[in-house]
Amino acid sequence: MPTEPETDYDPSLGNKFIFVTGGVMSGLGKGITAASTGRLLANAGFDVTAVKIDPYLNVDAGTMNPFQHGEVYVLKDGGEVDLDLGNYERFLDVDMTFDHNVTTGKTYQHVIEKERAGDYLGKTVQIIPHITDDIKRRIREAAEGHDVCLVEVGGTVGDIEGMPYLEALRQFAHEQDEEDFLLTHVTLVPYSKNGEQKTKPTQHSVKELRSIGLQPDILVGRCEDKLDPSTREKIALFCDVPTDAVFSNSDVEDIYHVPLMVEEEGLDEYVMERLDLADEALPETDRDNEWRNLVTQETHGEVDVALVGKYDLEDAYISVNEALKHAGLEKNLDVNVLWVDSEEMDADHEERLRSADAVVVPGGFGSRGTAGKIEAIRYARENDVPYLGLCLGFQLAVVEFARNVLELEGAHSAEIDENTPHPVIDLLPEQYDLEDLGGTMRLGAHETAIEPDTLAAEVYGGTSCTERHRHRYEVNPEYFDDFEDTDLVFSGQSGNRMEILELDGHPYFVGTQFHPEFRSRPTRASPPFVGLLDAVLDQPTANSDADAPEEVEA
C-alpha cells in the first residue's frame, strides 16, 4: 500500500542554490559576501534571490532590541526581519517578502500548529524529517522561479541552535545535482603578533562542518589584507578544496566596493563555472556596469549630517546611514554622518549640532533620548538647518511645533507620556484592544496621497508615493484644527492619517511617518534623502566644491 507523505515538502522546487555559512565568529560579513556574489551574478544576466536563515527562537525580529541585534528591517509585505535582508535588497535591487526570512520560531510554530491540527496522521513529530523538511520547504518555495537562490545561514558553525539548519543543508546537498548546489564557507584569517596570517581557525571551522557531513566547495577568508599565496595553499591543503577555490575578502573602505573586490578575485567566474552557468552568462562586455561606475565615481564635495539617535551603534540605524550614502552617490557627494547621542543633548545641543549641514532624527521607540531629539528638532527649525524626521522624528516634530509654536504646554506623544494634557500623537485606533505586540503594528508598504504644489510633491515628482511603515502611533485627529493655518503643513495623507509634514518658509523641514530609508538603493536613492542634500547644496555655507560639475547642482 502507498504511504501518506509525512510532510508537504516538494524537493523539485528551485534551480541553483548557493549556501553561505560562517565559522570562528559572527559578524564576519557572510551577508555582504553573499550579496556581493549575487550582485555579480545579476550583472551577468541571472535572476537572483536570497534567503536569510536566523536560528533564534523569535518568530521575527520585530520585538528585538536594536542595540543587541541591530536594526529591524521592514519588507514590503510588513515582515520584520534581520538587517541582512536590507543588504540583500540594496545589493540585488529587489523587493523581498517575509517568506525570504527563515527563523527557528517561525519553523517550529508552523510544525507545532500542524501537529495540533492532526496533520501528521499520528506520526511522532521529530526534528528529522518534520523540522528539516519545513526548513527546506521554505527555502525552495522562496527560490521558485529564480535562476539562483543565495541562502545565508546565520550564526556560526557549531552553534547549538544552528544544528537543524546544517542538517537540512546536508540533506539539501544530497537531493541536488552536483552542479546545482554550492557551499561557501566564510571564515576568519587573523594575524599573529609577528604578522603571519593564521589558518588554524579556518581548519577547525571546516573540520566542524565536515563532522556533520558537509564539505565546503568554496572558502572565503576574511582578513585585513588579501590572503598570501602560501596562506591560500595551506588552507586548500588542510581543508581539502582546490587552491583556486580559496578567495580573499579583505577590508575595504566601503561595503559597496566588495563586489568589485570579489570580482577581481574571480569569485563570480568560479561560481558560474561550478554551477554550470558560464555558457549562459552575458559576455563580459555586455554585463551591467552601473554599480561599478556609481561606486567608483569621483565626488565633488562633502556634507556633514547629524544623525540624532539614542543607540550608540551604527547597525541600529544602518538603513538611514545607507540611504544618506545613496543620496550622496546621486549628488556626487561624500556624506559624513555625525553620530549624536540624544541623551547627552539637553544642555549643549547647539554645540553638538553647530558643525552639521543637516539634521536627521530617525525612528525609535520608548521615552529614552526623546528630550534631546526634540531639542535637535527645535534647533533645526529655528536656525533654518535642513531637517529630515523619520517616523518618531516626524512625530516629535509635531510635538515640538505644538509646544513651542502653538503653545500647547506639555504636548507630547501618548507613547512617551500617557498623562500628557495634549496627546498630539496618539495610539492608532486599531491598536487599543491588541494583546500581542509581535507583528501587530502598522507595517509594510502603504500608499500616500501627496498634495500638489508642495515640497513633498516636488521631492517625489508626483502626487503619490508608496513607502514602508512601522508604527503604532500617529498624529491625533483631534488636533488637526490646531495646525490649520500654521506654517506646519501636512502635505501627505493616507485617508485620515497624516504621513508627510513640511514647514513653509524653511529651506527643508520634512517629516515622514513612514520609513523611506527601507526602499533606498545605491542605484535608486530615496527622494526625501536626495531632497535633504539638495537643500544643503542650496545653502550658502555648503561644503560642496564651488567648481562642481552641473550634475552636482541641486
Provide the grid cell at 115: 501537529
Q: Which of 89, 152, 400, 517 is catalytic?
A: 517
Provide the grid cell at 335: 556624506
Residue 3 gets which letter from DSSP?
P
Q: State which H helix or E strand residue 111 sits in.
A: helix 104-116
Examine the residue annotation and report whether 146 is marked as an active-site residue of this protein: no
Q: Which of 446, 471, 506, 515 is catalytic?
A: 515
SS3 call for 473: strand
Distances (CA, A) of 208 to 21, 24, 160, 172: 12, 10, 12, 18
d(CA 271, CA 290): 21
Distances (CA, A) of 292 to 86, 261, 281, 284, 318: 20, 11, 18, 13, 22
d(CA 57, CA 55): 7
Beta bridge partners of 49: 149
370-395 per-residue burial string, b: 16 or more CB within 10 A, e: under 16: bbbbbbbbbbbbeeebbbbbbbbbbb
d(CA 457, CA 470): 23
Examine the residue annotation and report whether 515 is marked as an active-site residue of this protein: yes
Report yes or no: 422 and 412 within 8 Å, Cβ to Cβ.
Answer: yes
d(CA 333, CA 320): 16
Examine the residue annotation and report whether 478 is marked as an active-site residue of this protein: no
- Specify whether the backbone of 540 is left (phi greater than 0), alpha (psi in -120 to 50) or beta: alpha
Q: Which of 100, 391, 400, 467 is catalytic?
A: 391
**Residue 5 carries which side chain, given as an amino acid letter?**
P
Catalytic residues: 391, 515, 517
